Amino acid sequence: MPLAVLLGVAVWAVCMYFGFLYGFPVACAVTVVAATAAGLAHYMLRATRILLPATAEGLSPAVPGDPDAGRDPAYRHYLFTQASRDWWQILRAAVPAMIGTAGLALRTATRWLMGGYQGLFLVPIWLAMVVGLVLTLLPLAGLGAGLAAAYGVVTAVGTLLWLACVLALRGAEQAFMLVRRILQTCPHPQCYARIALPEYACPTCGERHRRLIPNQDGAFRHVCRCGTRLPTAIVLGRFRLQAYCPNCGRALPPRIGRVRIEPLPFVGGPDAGKTTFMVLAISALHRAVKAASGRAGFVVRGDEIAFARSREELRAGKVAKTTTAAPSATMVDVTLPGSRSRSGNRLLYLFDPSGEGFTGAAGVEEMSYLAHTEAMLIVVDPFALPLVQQGLSPGERDELRAAGVVLSPEDPADTFQRVRNELAAREDGGRQKRVAVVVTKADLLRRTAVGQDCEHLPGWFDGVGLGNMVRDLAKTAGEVRYLASGLPADDAAIVVLLAWLTGLPLASPPPAEDAEVTTADLREPWAGGRVAEGRAPLGYRLFRWSIFALSVVVGAGTLALSAAVAFALVTGFAAIW
Protein backbone atom coordinates (compact mmCIF):
# COMPACT_ATOMS: atom_id res chain seq x y z
CA MET A 1 0.00 0.00 0.00
CA PRO A 2 1.43 3.40 -0.94
CA LEU A 3 2.78 5.49 1.89
CA ALA A 4 0.49 8.43 0.99
CA VAL A 5 -2.59 6.32 1.42
CA LEU A 6 -1.42 5.05 4.74
CA LEU A 7 -0.61 8.59 5.83
CA GLY A 8 -4.07 9.79 4.71
CA VAL A 9 -5.80 6.98 6.59
CA ALA A 10 -3.78 7.84 9.68
CA VAL A 11 -4.69 11.52 9.42
CA TRP A 12 -8.37 10.62 8.91
CA ALA A 13 -8.31 8.31 11.93
CA VAL A 14 -6.72 11.01 14.08
CA CYS A 15 -9.37 13.53 12.93
CA MET A 16 -12.15 11.08 13.71
CA TYR A 17 -10.67 10.34 17.11
CA PHE A 18 -10.26 13.94 18.18
CA GLY A 19 -13.43 14.99 16.31
CA PHE A 20 -15.59 12.58 18.26
CA LEU A 21 -13.61 13.09 21.47
CA TYR A 22 -13.68 16.89 21.55
CA GLY A 23 -15.45 18.33 18.52
CA PHE A 24 -18.63 16.26 18.66
CA PRO A 25 -19.72 17.11 22.26
CA VAL A 26 -18.77 20.77 21.96
CA ALA A 27 -20.43 21.24 18.56
CA CYS A 28 -23.50 19.34 19.71
CA ALA A 29 -23.77 21.45 22.88
CA VAL A 30 -23.31 24.68 20.94
CA THR A 31 -25.97 23.55 18.45
CA VAL A 32 -28.43 22.78 21.25
CA VAL A 33 -27.95 26.17 22.88
CA ALA A 34 -27.94 28.07 19.59
CA ALA A 35 -30.99 26.26 18.22
CA THR A 36 -32.89 26.76 21.47
CA ALA A 37 -32.00 30.45 21.49
CA ALA A 38 -33.11 30.75 17.85
CA GLY A 39 -36.43 29.00 18.59
CA LEU A 40 -37.00 31.20 21.63
CA ALA A 41 -36.14 34.28 19.57
CA HIS A 42 -38.74 33.32 16.99
CA TYR A 43 -41.40 32.90 19.66
CA MET A 44 -40.52 36.08 21.54
CA LEU A 45 -40.45 38.09 18.31
CA ARG A 46 -44.01 37.04 17.48
CA ALA A 47 -45.14 37.41 21.11
CA THR A 48 -43.69 40.91 21.21
CA ARG A 49 -45.59 41.88 18.08
CA ILE A 50 -48.88 40.42 19.30
CA LEU A 51 -48.88 40.84 23.08
CA LEU A 52 -47.10 44.12 23.72
CA PRO A 53 -48.88 46.62 21.43
CA ALA A 54 -51.80 48.47 23.03
CA THR A 55 -53.68 48.79 19.76
CA ALA A 56 -56.82 46.86 18.90
CA GLU A 57 -55.54 46.13 15.39
CA GLY A 58 -52.46 44.11 14.58
CA LEU A 59 -51.44 40.52 13.91
CA SER A 60 -54.16 39.32 16.29
CA PRO A 61 -56.85 42.03 16.16
CA ALA A 62 -59.41 42.46 18.95
CA VAL A 63 -62.83 42.09 17.31
CA PRO A 64 -66.03 43.27 19.05
CA GLY A 65 -69.30 41.37 18.88
CA ASP A 66 -71.57 41.61 15.86
CA PRO A 67 -75.26 42.40 16.63
CA ASP A 68 -76.25 40.65 13.38
CA ALA A 69 -74.80 37.45 14.85
CA GLY A 70 -76.80 37.83 18.06
CA ARG A 71 -73.98 39.39 20.07
CA ASP A 72 -73.83 42.73 21.82
CA PRO A 73 -71.53 45.25 20.10
CA ALA A 74 -68.93 44.78 22.83
CA TYR A 75 -65.53 43.15 23.20
CA ARG A 76 -65.68 39.70 24.73
CA HIS A 77 -63.60 39.15 27.85
CA TYR A 78 -59.99 38.38 26.87
CA LEU A 79 -59.98 34.91 28.39
CA PHE A 80 -62.93 33.56 26.40
CA THR A 81 -61.92 34.44 22.84
CA GLN A 82 -58.84 36.57 22.46
CA ALA A 83 -56.48 34.47 24.59
CA SER A 84 -56.79 31.39 22.37
CA ARG A 85 -56.67 33.59 19.27
CA ASP A 86 -53.42 35.22 20.41
CA TRP A 87 -51.89 31.84 21.29
CA TRP A 88 -52.80 30.42 17.90
CA GLN A 89 -51.49 33.47 16.03
CA ILE A 90 -48.13 33.25 17.83
CA LEU A 91 -47.80 29.51 17.22
CA ARG A 92 -48.85 29.59 13.56
CA ALA A 93 -46.14 32.18 12.93
CA ALA A 94 -43.38 30.96 15.29
CA VAL A 95 -43.46 27.17 14.69
CA PRO A 96 -43.05 27.32 10.89
CA ALA A 97 -40.30 29.90 11.38
CA MET A 98 -38.49 27.56 13.81
CA ILE A 99 -38.78 24.62 11.40
CA GLY A 100 -37.62 26.75 8.51
CA THR A 101 -34.62 28.03 10.44
CA ALA A 102 -33.64 24.51 11.51
CA GLY A 103 -33.91 23.24 7.94
CA LEU A 104 -31.89 26.14 6.60
CA ALA A 105 -29.18 25.59 9.23
CA LEU A 106 -29.00 21.88 8.42
CA ARG A 107 -28.80 22.46 4.67
CA THR A 108 -26.17 25.16 5.08
CA ALA A 109 -24.08 22.98 7.43
CA THR A 110 -24.35 20.03 5.06
CA ARG A 111 -23.24 22.15 2.11
CA TRP A 112 -20.35 23.70 3.97
CA LEU A 113 -19.16 20.69 5.92
CA MET A 114 -20.01 17.80 3.66
CA GLY A 115 -19.94 19.41 0.23
CA GLY A 116 -16.34 18.38 -0.64
CA TYR A 117 -13.39 16.26 0.42
CA GLN A 118 -13.45 18.04 3.78
CA GLY A 119 -16.56 16.11 4.57
CA LEU A 120 -14.44 13.02 5.16
CA PHE A 121 -12.79 14.79 8.05
CA LEU A 122 -15.75 16.89 9.37
CA VAL A 123 -18.23 14.07 9.82
CA PRO A 124 -18.15 14.37 13.66
CA ILE A 125 -19.01 18.05 13.48
CA TRP A 126 -21.84 17.48 11.00
CA LEU A 127 -23.21 14.58 13.04
CA ALA A 128 -22.94 16.77 16.15
CA MET A 129 -25.10 19.43 14.52
CA VAL A 130 -27.68 16.84 13.42
CA VAL A 131 -27.81 15.28 16.88
CA GLY A 132 -27.87 18.74 18.46
CA LEU A 133 -30.87 19.77 16.36
CA VAL A 134 -32.66 16.58 17.39
CA LEU A 135 -31.79 17.09 21.05
CA THR A 136 -33.06 20.69 20.82
CA LEU A 137 -36.55 19.20 20.75
CA LEU A 138 -36.14 18.58 24.48
CA PRO A 139 -35.75 22.22 25.61
CA LEU A 140 -38.20 23.38 22.92
CA ALA A 141 -40.74 20.89 24.26
CA GLY A 142 -40.06 22.37 27.68
CA LEU A 143 -40.59 25.82 26.17
CA GLY A 144 -43.92 24.77 24.72
CA ALA A 145 -45.02 23.13 27.96
CA GLY A 146 -43.93 26.15 29.98
CA LEU A 147 -45.74 28.59 27.71
CA ALA A 148 -48.86 26.43 27.74
CA ALA A 149 -48.64 26.36 31.52
CA ALA A 150 -48.24 30.14 31.59
CA TYR A 151 -51.35 30.57 29.48
CA GLY A 152 -53.13 28.01 31.61
CA VAL A 153 -52.19 29.76 34.85
CA VAL A 154 -53.28 33.17 33.59
CA THR A 155 -56.49 31.72 32.16
CA ALA A 156 -57.32 29.69 35.26
CA VAL A 157 -56.63 32.51 37.72
CA GLY A 158 -58.40 35.05 35.53
CA THR A 159 -61.41 32.78 35.04
CA LEU A 160 -61.74 32.13 38.76
CA LEU A 161 -61.54 35.84 39.52
CA TRP A 162 -64.05 36.56 36.75
CA LEU A 163 -66.42 33.89 38.03
CA ALA A 164 -66.17 35.17 41.60
CA CYS A 165 -66.89 38.74 40.46
CA VAL A 166 -69.79 37.66 38.25
CA LEU A 167 -71.41 35.64 41.03
CA ALA A 168 -70.86 38.42 43.58
CA LEU A 169 -72.27 41.14 41.31
CA ARG A 170 -75.26 39.09 40.20
CA GLY A 171 -75.98 38.15 43.78
CA ALA A 172 -75.68 41.76 44.93
CA GLU A 173 -78.00 42.92 42.15
CA GLN A 174 -80.59 40.24 42.89
CA ALA A 175 -80.46 41.11 46.59
CA PHE A 176 -80.82 44.81 45.76
CA MET A 177 -83.79 44.13 43.50
CA LEU A 178 -85.48 41.93 46.09
CA VAL A 179 -84.88 44.22 49.07
CA ARG A 180 -85.99 47.32 47.15
CA ARG A 181 -88.81 45.37 45.48
CA ILE A 182 -87.72 46.75 42.14
CA LEU A 183 -90.33 46.47 39.41
CA GLN A 184 -89.44 47.26 35.79
CA THR A 185 -92.24 47.73 33.26
CA CYS A 186 -92.78 49.49 29.96
CA PRO A 187 -94.99 52.61 30.13
CA HIS A 188 -95.96 52.58 26.45
CA PRO A 189 -99.26 51.43 24.89
CA GLN A 190 -99.45 48.18 22.92
CA CYS A 191 -96.64 46.95 25.15
CA TYR A 192 -96.85 47.58 28.93
CA ALA A 193 -94.51 44.58 29.28
CA ARG A 194 -92.83 43.53 32.47
CA ILE A 195 -89.08 43.74 31.86
CA ALA A 196 -86.38 41.54 33.32
CA LEU A 197 -83.51 43.41 31.66
CA PRO A 198 -83.81 46.54 29.51
CA GLU A 199 -81.63 47.31 26.54
CA TYR A 200 -79.07 50.03 27.23
CA ALA A 201 -77.66 52.50 24.73
CA CYS A 202 -74.00 53.45 24.65
CA PRO A 203 -73.86 57.18 25.49
CA THR A 204 -71.16 57.72 22.86
CA CYS A 205 -72.28 55.86 19.75
CA GLY A 206 -75.88 54.97 20.61
CA GLU A 207 -75.42 51.22 20.00
CA ARG A 208 -77.82 49.17 22.10
CA HIS A 209 -76.63 46.40 24.40
CA ARG A 210 -79.20 43.70 25.15
CA ARG A 211 -77.16 41.76 27.74
CA LEU A 212 -75.45 44.43 29.81
CA ILE A 213 -74.89 42.19 32.82
CA PRO A 214 -71.84 40.49 34.35
CA ASN A 215 -71.12 37.82 31.73
CA GLN A 216 -68.50 36.72 29.20
CA ASP A 217 -68.23 40.27 27.90
CA GLY A 218 -66.93 41.40 31.28
CA ALA A 219 -67.71 41.30 34.96
CA PHE A 220 -67.58 44.98 35.97
CA ARG A 221 -67.53 46.70 32.60
CA HIS A 222 -68.41 45.93 29.01
CA VAL A 223 -66.39 47.80 26.42
CA CYS A 224 -68.53 48.97 23.52
CA ARG A 225 -66.95 48.68 20.11
CA CYS A 226 -66.58 52.46 20.12
CA GLY A 227 -64.38 52.11 23.22
CA THR A 228 -66.83 53.36 25.86
CA ARG A 229 -66.81 51.41 29.12
CA LEU A 230 -70.32 50.53 30.30
CA PRO A 231 -71.32 49.38 33.83
CA THR A 232 -72.76 45.89 34.03
CA ALA A 233 -74.98 46.22 37.11
CA ILE A 234 -77.39 48.66 38.68
CA VAL A 235 -75.15 48.82 41.76
CA LEU A 236 -72.29 49.94 39.47
CA GLY A 237 -74.33 52.71 37.83
CA ARG A 238 -76.04 50.99 34.90
CA PHE A 239 -79.19 53.02 35.61
CA ARG A 240 -77.31 56.13 34.47
CA LEU A 241 -77.50 54.89 30.87
CA GLN A 242 -80.50 55.41 28.63
CA ALA A 243 -82.66 52.29 28.76
CA TYR A 244 -85.04 50.92 26.14
CA CYS A 245 -87.79 48.33 26.26
CA PRO A 246 -86.54 45.05 24.72
CA ASN A 247 -90.06 44.28 23.50
CA CYS A 248 -91.13 47.47 21.74
CA GLY A 249 -87.80 49.31 21.50
CA ARG A 250 -89.12 52.56 22.98
CA ALA A 251 -87.34 54.63 25.60
CA LEU A 252 -87.73 53.80 29.28
CA PRO A 253 -87.53 56.34 32.10
CA PRO A 254 -84.24 57.30 33.77
CA ARG A 255 -83.27 55.39 36.92
CA ILE A 256 -85.23 52.32 35.84
CA GLY A 257 -83.89 49.40 37.85
CA ARG A 258 -82.48 51.76 40.47
CA VAL A 259 -85.84 52.72 41.97
CA ARG A 260 -89.12 50.92 42.13
CA ILE A 261 -91.70 51.62 39.45
CA GLU A 262 -95.11 52.10 41.01
CA PRO A 263 -97.87 51.68 38.42
CA LEU A 264 -101.00 53.51 39.55
CA PRO A 265 -104.00 53.09 37.26
CA PHE A 266 -106.89 55.54 37.54
CA VAL A 267 -110.06 53.50 37.05
CA GLY A 268 -113.30 55.28 36.23
CA GLY A 269 -115.97 55.74 33.59
CA PRO A 270 -116.53 58.65 31.19
CA ASP A 271 -116.41 62.13 32.80
CA ALA A 272 -115.60 60.61 36.18
CA GLY A 273 -112.94 63.27 36.86
CA LYS A 274 -109.85 61.07 36.60
CA THR A 275 -107.73 63.67 34.84
CA THR A 276 -108.84 66.40 37.23
CA PHE A 277 -107.92 64.32 40.23
CA MET A 278 -104.57 63.36 38.66
CA VAL A 279 -103.72 67.04 38.18
CA LEU A 280 -104.66 67.74 41.79
CA ALA A 281 -102.63 64.73 42.98
CA ILE A 282 -99.49 65.70 41.03
CA SER A 283 -99.67 69.28 42.29
CA ALA A 284 -100.10 68.19 45.90
CA LEU A 285 -97.37 65.56 45.54
CA HIS A 286 -94.92 68.07 44.12
CA ARG A 287 -95.53 70.52 46.96
CA ALA A 288 -95.12 67.79 49.58
CA VAL A 289 -91.86 66.53 48.04
CA LYS A 290 -90.53 70.07 47.78
CA ALA A 291 -91.45 70.72 51.44
CA ALA A 292 -89.45 67.58 52.34
CA SER A 293 -86.40 68.99 50.46
CA GLY A 294 -86.80 66.32 47.81
CA ARG A 295 -87.17 66.48 44.05
CA ALA A 296 -90.02 65.48 41.78
CA GLY A 297 -90.39 65.99 38.07
CA PHE A 298 -91.80 64.56 34.90
CA VAL A 299 -89.70 62.13 32.95
CA VAL A 300 -90.66 63.36 29.49
CA ARG A 301 -91.29 66.86 28.24
CA GLY A 302 -94.66 65.92 26.77
CA ASP A 303 -96.06 65.10 30.21
CA GLU A 304 -94.93 68.48 31.51
CA ILE A 305 -96.69 70.27 28.64
CA ALA A 306 -99.88 68.23 29.05
CA PHE A 307 -99.91 68.82 32.81
CA ALA A 308 -99.43 72.58 32.43
CA ARG A 309 -102.28 72.70 29.92
CA SER A 310 -104.57 70.64 32.15
CA ARG A 311 -103.81 72.83 35.16
CA GLU A 312 -104.66 75.96 33.20
CA GLU A 313 -107.90 74.32 32.10
CA LEU A 314 -108.67 73.40 35.70
CA ARG A 315 -108.17 76.99 36.79
CA ALA A 316 -110.53 78.02 34.00
CA GLY A 317 -113.19 75.64 35.25
CA LYS A 318 -112.97 72.28 33.44
CA VAL A 319 -110.23 69.92 32.30
CA ALA A 320 -110.46 68.62 28.74
CA LYS A 321 -111.63 65.06 28.32
CA THR A 322 -109.05 62.29 27.87
CA THR A 323 -109.48 60.61 24.49
CA THR A 324 -106.84 57.85 24.57
CA ALA A 325 -108.13 54.47 25.69
CA ALA A 326 -104.63 52.95 26.14
CA PRO A 327 -102.34 55.84 27.05
CA SER A 328 -98.66 56.09 27.79
CA ALA A 329 -98.08 56.45 31.51
CA THR A 330 -97.60 59.92 32.92
CA MET A 331 -94.22 59.34 34.57
CA VAL A 332 -93.18 61.25 37.68
CA ASP A 333 -89.75 60.63 39.19
CA VAL A 334 -89.57 61.24 42.95
CA THR A 335 -86.61 61.21 45.30
CA LEU A 336 -86.44 62.17 48.95
CA PRO A 337 -83.23 62.91 50.89
CA GLY A 338 -81.69 61.42 54.01
CA SER A 339 -83.09 58.48 55.89
CA ARG A 340 -86.19 58.45 53.70
CA SER A 341 -84.27 58.00 50.45
CA ARG A 342 -84.62 54.21 50.45
CA SER A 343 -88.43 54.21 50.44
CA GLY A 344 -88.61 57.73 49.04
CA ASN A 345 -87.38 56.84 45.57
CA ARG A 346 -90.17 56.02 43.18
CA LEU A 347 -90.99 56.18 39.50
CA LEU A 348 -94.73 56.74 39.40
CA TYR A 349 -96.57 55.47 36.33
CA LEU A 350 -99.93 57.27 36.39
CA PHE A 351 -102.30 55.71 33.86
CA ASP A 352 -105.22 57.94 32.91
CA PRO A 353 -107.17 56.29 30.06
CA SER A 354 -110.37 57.65 28.66
CA GLY A 355 -113.47 56.57 30.53
CA GLU A 356 -114.88 55.02 27.36
CA GLY A 357 -112.13 52.41 27.58
CA PHE A 358 -113.82 51.00 30.68
CA THR A 359 -117.25 50.69 29.08
CA GLY A 360 -116.44 47.41 27.32
CA ALA A 361 -114.49 44.25 28.13
CA ALA A 362 -112.30 44.62 25.01
CA GLY A 363 -111.15 48.07 26.11
CA VAL A 364 -110.24 46.84 29.55
CA GLU A 365 -108.24 43.95 28.05
CA GLU A 366 -106.02 46.47 26.25
CA MET A 367 -105.01 47.90 29.63
CA SER A 368 -102.46 45.14 30.21
CA TYR A 369 -100.60 47.36 32.68
CA LEU A 370 -103.22 46.21 35.19
CA ALA A 371 -101.28 42.93 35.36
CA HIS A 372 -98.37 44.64 37.19
CA THR A 373 -100.20 46.76 39.75
CA GLU A 374 -100.20 46.43 43.52
CA ALA A 375 -102.20 49.60 44.00
CA MET A 376 -105.20 51.07 42.26
CA LEU A 377 -107.16 54.30 42.41
CA ILE A 378 -110.86 53.94 41.63
CA VAL A 379 -112.49 57.22 40.68
CA VAL A 380 -116.24 57.24 41.26
CA ASP A 381 -118.41 59.83 39.57
CA PRO A 382 -121.30 60.08 42.06
CA PHE A 383 -123.59 61.54 39.43
CA ALA A 384 -123.13 58.42 37.29
CA LEU A 385 -124.76 56.28 39.98
CA PRO A 386 -128.37 55.46 38.97
CA LEU A 387 -129.70 55.88 42.53
CA VAL A 388 -128.02 59.27 42.85
CA GLN A 389 -129.50 60.39 39.54
CA GLN A 390 -132.92 59.22 40.66
CA GLY A 391 -132.55 61.15 43.92
CA LEU A 392 -131.84 64.48 42.25
CA SER A 393 -134.59 67.08 42.21
CA PRO A 394 -135.28 69.08 39.01
CA GLY A 395 -133.64 72.11 40.59
CA GLU A 396 -130.55 70.15 41.50
CA ARG A 397 -130.35 68.80 37.96
CA ASP A 398 -130.53 72.34 36.57
CA GLU A 399 -127.83 73.47 38.97
CA LEU A 400 -125.56 70.58 37.97
CA ARG A 401 -126.21 71.24 34.29
CA ALA A 402 -125.21 74.86 34.81
CA ALA A 403 -122.00 73.66 36.46
CA GLY A 404 -121.19 71.57 33.39
CA VAL A 405 -121.92 68.19 34.96
CA VAL A 406 -122.99 65.49 32.48
CA LEU A 407 -125.03 62.65 33.96
CA SER A 408 -123.20 59.61 32.62
CA PRO A 409 -125.14 56.46 31.71
CA GLU A 410 -122.14 54.28 32.73
CA ASP A 411 -122.73 52.83 36.19
CA PRO A 412 -119.44 52.84 38.23
CA ALA A 413 -120.42 49.40 39.53
CA ASP A 414 -120.24 48.04 35.98
CA THR A 415 -116.87 49.71 35.42
CA PHE A 416 -115.48 48.17 38.59
CA GLN A 417 -116.81 44.72 37.66
CA ARG A 418 -115.12 44.76 34.24
CA VAL A 419 -111.80 45.70 35.83
CA ARG A 420 -112.32 43.07 38.50
CA ASN A 421 -112.89 40.39 35.83
CA GLU A 422 -109.71 41.43 34.03
CA LEU A 423 -107.66 41.29 37.24
CA ALA A 424 -109.06 37.88 38.08
CA ALA A 425 -107.04 36.43 35.19
CA ARG A 426 -103.81 37.14 37.06
CA GLU A 427 -102.01 34.38 38.93
CA ASP A 428 -102.84 35.98 42.25
CA GLY A 429 -106.47 36.44 41.27
CA GLY A 430 -106.02 40.18 40.92
CA ARG A 431 -105.52 40.84 44.59
CA GLN A 432 -104.41 44.42 45.20
CA LYS A 433 -102.38 45.43 48.25
CA ARG A 434 -103.82 48.94 48.34
CA VAL A 435 -106.94 50.38 46.75
CA ALA A 436 -108.06 53.98 47.06
CA VAL A 437 -111.63 54.89 46.19
CA VAL A 438 -112.09 58.58 45.40
CA VAL A 439 -115.52 60.17 45.05
CA THR A 440 -115.04 63.18 42.79
CA LYS A 441 -117.18 66.31 42.44
CA ALA A 442 -117.82 66.16 46.18
CA ASP A 443 -118.24 69.95 46.32
CA LEU A 444 -121.25 69.67 44.00
CA LEU A 445 -122.50 66.46 45.59
CA ARG A 446 -122.74 68.07 49.01
CA ARG A 447 -125.26 70.57 47.62
CA THR A 448 -127.71 67.80 46.83
CA ALA A 449 -130.01 66.01 49.24
CA VAL A 450 -128.72 62.57 48.27
CA GLY A 451 -125.13 63.65 48.84
CA GLN A 452 -125.45 65.19 52.29
CA ASP A 453 -123.69 62.24 53.92
CA CYS A 454 -121.10 61.61 51.18
CA GLU A 455 -118.26 62.26 53.64
CA HIS A 456 -119.24 59.12 55.54
CA LEU A 457 -117.41 56.66 53.32
CA PRO A 458 -117.73 53.80 52.68
CA GLY A 459 -121.08 53.71 54.49
CA TRP A 460 -122.64 56.18 52.04
CA PHE A 461 -122.06 53.69 49.18
CA ASP A 462 -124.55 51.22 50.66
CA GLY A 463 -127.39 53.65 50.03
CA VAL A 464 -126.41 54.50 46.45
CA GLY A 465 -125.81 51.03 44.99
CA LEU A 466 -122.07 50.47 45.52
CA GLY A 467 -122.28 48.27 48.58
CA ASN A 468 -121.25 45.19 46.57
CA MET A 469 -118.10 46.96 45.39
CA VAL A 470 -117.20 47.85 48.97
CA ARG A 471 -117.68 44.27 50.11
CA ASP A 472 -115.74 42.87 47.14
CA LEU A 473 -112.83 45.21 47.86
CA ALA A 474 -112.85 44.17 51.50
CA LYS A 475 -112.29 40.57 50.36
CA THR A 476 -109.80 41.07 47.53
CA ALA A 477 -107.72 44.08 48.57
CA GLY A 478 -105.17 44.16 51.35
CA GLU A 479 -106.28 47.60 52.48
CA VAL A 480 -108.83 50.08 51.18
CA ARG A 481 -109.14 53.78 51.87
CA TYR A 482 -111.80 56.25 50.80
CA LEU A 483 -111.76 59.95 50.02
CA ALA A 484 -114.37 62.48 48.93
CA SER A 485 -112.63 65.04 46.71
CA GLY A 486 -113.88 68.33 45.35
CA LEU A 487 -112.82 71.87 44.59
CA PRO A 488 -111.00 73.55 46.12
CA ALA A 489 -108.88 70.47 46.72
CA ASP A 490 -107.87 69.24 50.15
CA ASP A 491 -104.15 68.91 49.42
CA ALA A 492 -103.36 67.42 52.82
CA ALA A 493 -105.88 64.60 52.39
CA ILE A 494 -104.74 63.94 48.81
CA VAL A 495 -101.05 63.73 49.83
CA VAL A 496 -101.83 61.35 52.68
CA LEU A 497 -103.81 59.13 50.31
CA LEU A 498 -101.19 59.25 47.54
CA ALA A 499 -98.30 58.64 49.94
CA TRP A 500 -100.10 55.58 51.27
CA LEU A 501 -100.85 54.29 47.77
CA THR A 502 -97.30 54.66 46.48
CA GLY A 503 -95.33 53.93 49.65
CA LEU A 504 -93.75 57.38 49.75
CA PRO A 505 -92.93 58.69 53.27
CA LEU A 506 -94.61 62.07 52.80
CA ALA A 507 -96.34 64.41 55.18
CA SER A 508 -99.03 66.96 54.38
CA PRO A 509 -97.63 69.91 52.44
CA PRO A 510 -97.72 73.36 54.05
CA PRO A 511 -99.95 76.00 52.45
CA ALA A 512 -98.04 77.52 49.58
CA GLU A 513 -98.35 78.66 46.02
CA ASP A 514 -98.17 75.93 43.43
CA ALA A 515 -94.74 75.74 41.81
CA GLU A 516 -94.28 74.65 38.23
CA VAL A 517 -93.72 70.92 37.88
CA THR A 518 -91.01 70.52 35.26
CA THR A 519 -89.18 67.73 33.52
CA ALA A 520 -86.24 66.48 35.60
CA ASP A 521 -83.58 63.82 35.11
CA LEU A 522 -82.55 62.83 38.63
CA ARG A 523 -79.56 60.79 37.44
CA GLU A 524 -75.99 61.93 37.35
CA PRO A 525 -74.55 61.41 33.85
CA TRP A 526 -72.47 58.29 33.30
CA ALA A 527 -68.78 59.11 33.19
CA GLY A 528 -67.19 55.70 33.09
CA GLY A 529 -64.43 56.68 30.70
CA ARG A 530 -63.55 55.58 27.24
CA VAL A 531 -60.74 53.65 25.62
CA ALA A 532 -58.72 55.84 23.30
CA GLU A 533 -59.54 55.32 19.64
CA GLY A 534 -57.65 52.39 18.17
CA ARG A 535 -56.57 50.96 21.53
CA ALA A 536 -57.49 47.55 22.86
CA PRO A 537 -59.61 47.35 26.05
CA LEU A 538 -57.67 47.66 29.29
CA GLY A 539 -58.40 44.03 30.21
CA TYR A 540 -56.84 42.85 26.96
CA ARG A 541 -53.69 44.83 27.59
CA LEU A 542 -53.31 43.66 31.20
CA PHE A 543 -53.76 39.99 30.34
CA ARG A 544 -51.47 40.20 27.32
CA TRP A 545 -48.75 41.91 29.31
CA SER A 546 -49.10 39.35 32.10
CA ILE A 547 -48.71 36.51 29.61
CA PHE A 548 -45.72 38.21 28.00
CA ALA A 549 -44.04 38.64 31.38
CA LEU A 550 -44.55 34.96 32.14
CA SER A 551 -43.22 34.12 28.67
CA VAL A 552 -39.99 35.95 29.48
CA VAL A 553 -39.65 33.91 32.67
CA VAL A 554 -40.39 30.67 30.80
CA GLY A 555 -37.91 31.65 28.07
CA ALA A 556 -35.15 32.22 30.60
CA GLY A 557 -35.92 28.83 32.11
CA THR A 558 -35.77 27.23 28.66
CA LEU A 559 -32.33 28.68 27.99
CA ALA A 560 -31.21 27.38 31.35
CA LEU A 561 -32.60 23.96 30.40
CA SER A 562 -30.74 23.97 27.07
CA ALA A 563 -27.51 24.95 28.84
CA ALA A 564 -28.04 22.06 31.24
CA VAL A 565 -28.57 19.68 28.31
CA ALA A 566 -25.40 20.97 26.66
CA PHE A 567 -23.36 20.59 29.85
CA ALA A 568 -24.70 17.06 30.26
CA LEU A 569 -23.57 16.23 26.72
CA VAL A 570 -20.05 17.48 27.27
CA THR A 571 -19.59 15.83 30.65
CA GLY A 572 -21.24 12.63 29.42
CA PHE A 573 -18.88 12.26 26.51
CA ALA A 574 -15.91 13.10 28.70
CA ALA A 575 -16.93 10.39 31.16
CA ILE A 576 -17.40 7.84 28.38
CA TRP A 577 -14.03 8.53 26.80
Domain assignments of the chain as residue spans, ordered by start: 3-159+537-576, 259-502
Q: Please say whether the beta carbons of 415 and 267 come within 8 A.
A: yes
- Pairwise CA distance, residues 218 & 220, whole Å: 6
Three-state SS at 264: strand
Chain-centre distance of CA 70, in angstroms? 16
Kindly report the CATH class assigned to 259-502: alpha beta
Packed helices 538-576 and 82-114: angle between N→C axes, nearest 10 degrees: 30
Q: Please say whether the beta carbons of 262 and 433 come within 8 A.
A: no
Residue type, 554: V
Give the CA diameter of the chain. 157
Alpha helices in 19-81 (DSSP H): 24-51
Question: pLDDT of the chain along its 577 residues, tens only?
Answer: 577 767 767 766 776 776 666 677 788 888 888 888 888 899 999 999 999 998 888 888 988 888 888 899 999 999 998 998 998 999 889 889 888 888 888 888 777 777 766 666 677 778 878 888 888 888 888 888 888 888 888 888 989 999 999 999 999 999 999 988 899 999 998 899 999 999 999 999 999 999 999 999 999 999 999 999 999 999 999 999 999 999 999 999 988 999 989 999 999 888 888 999 999 999 999 988 888 888 899 999 999 998 989 888 888 777 777 766 678 899 999 998 865 556 678 899 999 988 777 777 677 777 888 888 889 999 999 998 999 999 888 888 888 888 888 777 788 888 888 888 888 877 777 778 999 999 999 988 998 999 888 888 999 999 898 999 999 999 888 999 999 998 888 888 999 999 999 988 887 766 656 667 888 887 787 877 888 878 889 889 999 998 899 889 888 888 887 787 777 766 766 566 5
Predicted TM-score (pTM) of the model is 0.83
Burial class (CB in 10 A: 0-12, 13-18, 19+), 295: middle
- Pairwise CA distance, residues 62 & 538, whole Å: 12
